[in-house]
Amino acid sequence: MKVLVRLTFLVLSVLVYSYQATKTGPDWWKSSVIYQIYPRSFKDSDNDGIGDLQGIISKIDYFVELGVDAIWLSPIYKSPMVDAGYDISDYRSIAPEYGNLSDFKELLEAAHKNGLKLILDFVPNHTSNLHEWFNKSVAREEGYEDYYLWNDGYVDDDGVRQPPNNWLSLWSFSGWEWNEQRQQYYFHQFSIQQPDLNYRSEKVRQEMKDILTYWLDIGVDGFRVDAVPHIYEDELLRDEPIVPDSGVDDTNWNYLNHIYTKDQPETFELVYSWRTHLDNYTNTVGGDTRMFMTECSSDMENLVKYYGNENGTVLGAHFTFNFYFLGINENTTAADLQSDITVWYQNLPSIYTFNWLTGNHDNHRVASKVGQSRVDAYNMLISFLDGVTITYMAEEIGQENGEVTCEQGQDPSAIKNCTTFNETTRDFERTPFQWDNSTNAGFNEGAPTWLPVSSKYLETNLQEERLASRSHYHVYTDLVQLKASLSAYNSSYIFVNSLLNNRLLEVQKALDDPHQSTYRLYFNTGNEALTVSLDQNYTVVIPSVNLAYTQGLTDNDLVLNSGDSVIIKVL
């Protein structure tokens, strides 16, 4: 069944945001495409089953081919790998399974030679319990006594030692762990092997600035800062209130309202100090802006604070991640998307920069969440909207979740309970990149891989999509090129509409260029075909893979089947 709608621009469009960008050209990151690499799963150069830096170096041409501006590496530091590298034992060394510092410098040189920026993950909230700082703190070595959050706890009426308060770990159960040697509890927001640093210590704050400087001196272009909201805790160690009717037991992190262990005022001040540090570095050394982006699963009020204050006199992160699209699924409506977009346009001051993403290493792959027919639509959406586009590796080819059993699993928070493994694991989205249809999808030369290669690699891989006349890969590269060309102009306004009982999403972008060009994105989020009858001639700029149109001028109605999407230029 086809449903016909005639769209008239001035009548149906709803203005949600208006701003004027700087015509002299924003800094490199403001309209960039940043490509996230999960190094362990990208490319294995030495056939040991684990991706590595030389593997990334071997694929530098691929990033150039995609047209992305920057590559961002998930943690590559020395680590016992309790939490896939987010438990760092040495911030200045490379994990041996990935290579060494010489390999990293080679990668950096190759990236810069090819016009790519390189961004490192920075994990400041905690270290590994094998870090020398923790060992020295346990031993109460002079100068390290307060590097971590230590407390005596108390002895209850039954003579049993108890932690100082009710704070919980994100991985469930108490966030406090008793250390027999020191005879005190230490606090950990994540696993017991990831003790939280104490940022009330001036020495800790300086250590972390020195680490940033170390990597800046080597030549990195910026940082993605992990788990930012958890950096500071309430100095008085007050109990957190219980969430009424949470539906979870008292060991689950969601049992408490985290008013004392998340988004503390001191955390914002710390982020502002890091921005000052990076800006001072750029101003002193010269070159392009060294940027940083913060990972914050917080409410909108706090997300905006991580950017800085409302008038920009105090600056924080260049941007903080927009996770509003992570919850998309095959039933997401146009109204849902309009709401997710509008909340950012309405709440983020116009001096700051948007960012858009649909996936990462902690969330199921887009193709598995929404289906192959909608992959192009979401890649269109995050590249068409103004600001930074962030792509998790292999989203450009529509790679789906892999197949991993609990016995094969590597996610420490999930393999503890095989009954709930399928619901909690992050392994599915971390399986190796599917390069071609050879052994192990071209990830390596055939050695057993750290996570199994998906059986779907024979039908979805880069080689096949390159050869196809139409594919997700080709749509993606066209989108990156379009984004680059449009970013040369100011977007004088953005319109977002939910039409036809929330089945049709329309995004209109008007450019302040000599031709006053207007581009429109249409996405049929419904389950039946729609016919969009336009009142002007238009050029199809980028059609989704299954759309029955090719690029070029047309005056016909647009027929969009379920999941179809298109970007057009109105003439």
* Token pair listed for 440: 């192990």
Percentage of the residues of the chain whose pLDDT score is greater than 90 = 88
Token code pair at residue 42:
């990208």
**Is 463 exposed, middle or buried, given 0-12, 13-18 or 19+ CB atoms closer than 10 A?**
middle
Chain-centroid distance, C-alpha 117: 17
The pLDDT of residue 369 is above 90? yes
Mean pLDDT over 421-449 rounds to 97
Residue predicted with more confidence, 570 or 16: 570
**What's the confidence (pLDDT) of residue 493?**
75
The one-letter code for the residue type at 491 is: S
Measured in Å, how far apart are the chain's first and last C-alpha atoms? Answer: 29
Q: Please give the average per-residue pLDDT across 284-292, as a whole number.
A: 95
- 239 in catalytic set: no
226 is catalytic: yes
> For residue 22, what pLDDT band results from cuts at 50, 70 and 90?
very low
Name the catalytic one among 87, 233, 295, 396: 295
Averaged pLDDT for residues 167-188: 97
Across residues 271-298, what is the average pLDDT?
A: 96
Tens digit of each residue's pLDDT (9 = 90 or more) over 297-356 = 999 999 999 999 999 999 999 999 999 999 999 999 999 999 999 999 999 999 999 999
**pLDDT score recorded for residue 18:** 35
- Structure-model confidence comparison of residues 536 and 18, the more confident one: 536
What pLDDT is attached to residue 492? 75
| Catalytic residue selected from 44, 226, 386, 400 | 226
Q: Which H helix or E strand runs over 307? A: helix 300-307
Using pLDDT thresholds of 50, 70 and 90, give the confidence band for residue 56: very high
pLDDT at 24 over 70: no
Q: Please report which confidence band the pLDDT of residue 488 belongs to, taking 50, 70 and 90 as the band edges.
A: confident
What confidence tier does 489 reach under pLDDT thresholds 50, 70, 90? confident
Q: Which domains does the chain have, with CATH numbers?
A: 3-10+490-570 (2.60.40.1180), 27-127+202-467 (3.20.20.80), 132-187 (3.90.400.10)
Bridge partners, 223 (sequence order): 120, 292
Determine the pLDDT at residue 483: 96
Detail the DSSP E strand segments found in 83-122: 90-94, 117-122
Which tokens belong to 370?
Answer: 């929404």
Decide which of 49 and 4 is more confident. Answer: 49
Residue 10 has pLDDT above 50, yes or no: no
Whole-Å CA distances, 248 to 167, 255, 538? 15, 6, 53
What is the C-alpha to C-alpha distance for residues 562 and 550, in angstroms, rounded to an integer? 18
Mean pLDDT of 427-442: 98
3: tokens are: 């449903």
Is residue 323 classed as helix, strand or coil in its secondary structure?
Answer: coil
Query: For the residues 439-450, what does the mean pLDDT come to?
Result: 98
pLDDT band, very low/low/confident/very high, at 25 (cuts 50, 70, 90): very low
150 has pLDDT over 60 = yes
Query: Which residues neighbour 171 within 8 Å (Cβ) at sequence distance 6 or greater?
Result: 190, 191, 253, 413
Q: What is the mean pLDDT of the chain?
A: 93
pLDDT digits (tens, 9 = 90+) for 309-325: 999 999 999 999 999 99
pLDDT at 11: 28
Q: Which residue has the higher pLDDT, 416 or 366?
A: 366
pLDDT digit string, tens, across residues 118-134: 999 999 999 999 999 99
**3-state secondary structure at position 387:** coil
CB-based contact 107:53 (threshold 8 Å): yes
pLDDT of residue 120: 98
Over residues 218-241, the mean pLDDT reads 98
2 has a pLDDT exceeding 60: no
Q: At what angle do helices 265-285 and 202-218 cross, to 10 degrees?
A: 40
Cα–Cα distance between 435 and 452 in angstroms, integer? 14
Helix (H) and strand (E) counts in the chain: 14, 25
How many residues appear in the chain? 571
Regarding beta strands 150-151 and 154-155, do their DSSP bridges make them parallel or antiparallel, or are they unpaired?
unpaired
Please tell me the distance from the alpha carbon of residue 367 to that of residue 378, in angstroms, as a whole number. Answer: 10
Torsion-angle region of 505 (φ positive above 0: left; ψ -120 to 50: alpha; else: beta): beta
Return the bridge partners of 15, or none: 495
Give the pLDDT of residue 516. Answer: 83
Mean per-residue pLDDT, 84-96: 97
Can you give the pLDDT at residue 48? 98
CB 232 within 8 A of CB 205: no
Position 14 scores a pLDDT of: 34
CA 333 to chain centre: 23
Look at residue 402 in the predicted model and tell me its pLDDT.
98
What is the reported pLDDT for 94? 98
Residue 157 Ramachandran class (φ > 0 left, ψ -120 to 50 alpha, else beta): alpha
